[in-house]
Structure 1
Amino acid sequence: MADCLGNLLRAKILALTGIVYGLCSVACVLSALLPFWFVLKVNLPFTDDGTQTITRSINSGLFFFDEGRFLNMMMLGKVDNQGLVPPMLEIAQLLFLLGSLGMIVCCASTFILACRKYASTTGELCLAVATTPLTVCLVASIILVFLSVLADTQAEWHGLPVPDYTPNRYAGFYKVLNIVPEISLNYGTYVACIGVVFSIVGTVFMWIQACCTCQEFHDTRYHMLREVPDLGSSPIPGKHQAFANIGYTRTTPGEINI
């Protein structure tokens, strides 16, 4: 255990990369569980005939929906073929889920590499290559979230579960089959943005570490190939008073070596 901690302290860049990946994983998991990515403003019918409506604000996350109870939006979207959220947000869900799970695995792998006694060029390069598309997935998911709010303002939500606000009726839920809510961003989106920033910083550190290790191995190999052995003073193993000096043999006094 002490050796692992000592190796971890010596591998400064790799340890820092693991810490950054850990912060990224925490931010991504926390933001995924938060049902506060968006505020949906919807006009719900106030009377049975639908002639009067009332405006309500509903909190929604990328994966969970919170309006009186905790609902899984991805499971709700599998009830019918239309899905709950617009297609742009469905793609953002898949990309963010893939990137978050991948970053958790990469965080554990980084600490495993940092606890090793010797650096692993192959492991660091594979980890740098693996984290690059995961970071791209996280960045793309956040871009799609912003585009769905700023550009795709007329996207329909299907089967949106909302509480029954109509007076003198049971306190339950019902589904709005087709609705175009007015969407605004909430603080959960910005927590996810912090996780994406940590992912980018960690990927940059990982590539720096991999390049530094490759350069160290390259310099070591270069000096090994360039080094000229001292053949005149290198004894031959197993032979008494024999030296590996090509073209020269030891002679006794009075003898001449030709």
Structure 2
Amino acid sequence: MGRDRGSRRTPDSRADTRADPADEAGTSPVEFVDDGTGGTVVMIDGHPQSYVQLGDPRLLVFEYVQFLAAVVDVLPEGPVAATHVGGAGLTLPRYVAHTRPGSPQIVLEPAQDVTSAVRQTLPLPRGHRIRVRPVDGRSGLRQLADGSAELVAVDAYAAGRVPAELTSTEWFTDVARVLGAGGLLAMNTADEPSRRHLARLHATIATVLPHTAAIATSEVRKGRRFGNTVLVASAQPLPLTALARRVAMTAFSATLLHGPSLARTLGSAQPFTDEDAEASPEPPRVEGWRVR
């Protein structure tokens, strides 16, 4: 999962940190931190990547996960055929399984040791239809059938950055192929206050999925700090009224930008291609973290 750099401080001293057993042999980067209220923070390489509340999968702590969930909630009622690029704690797949029972879900997560540790420590619910494939997003998506997903959720990070291979026109052309008619792309990314990488990423997506919107907190939207933005896109008009209403229900002061307001915020930019694709900027170092 991506990293919400604005929501962490020094952890509570009562927190219980449990390393995956493989850590002792130096083969796994995963730690599980109990927040003392029944929730668990999944730490990868020392960074918080996911928050999981087994007792209530609807409890979403990180802001960008709430934004991704808002996109899920505006899809037509009933089970959703979802493809997730990036797994970590499997927070969003758990949410979909809980709110849309019977949803067939595919998770593309190359870090097999992370998936094994997560499934051992934070078991998936009974009756789930979540299949995790140990493959990177680019290769895994290539194997999926045309129109096989109603939702493609991209939340993939390596060393705190969205990999360059997940930012190009060629990649999003494949995403559009996998999305069914009216299907939605929801992508979590992070950028510096200048938003130049975000602008190019948005321009890239718009070349193949022309109906777009962006969800971000007010601070990030105004360029006051490094932070996360969820880009939403489709080949058909987005359910903007429903999405704006759902975004307003999140626990954060968030804004849905689209049309001229999004164009003014990001300005013009050149789309990425495989030849010049760039990973998202490296996040600033923040000492400590906390969960809300």
Give the structure-1-normalised TM-score: 0.24
More contact order relative to length (CA 8 Å, sep ≥ 6): 1
Structure number having the greater strand percentage? 2
Q: TM (normalized to structure 2)?
A: 0.22
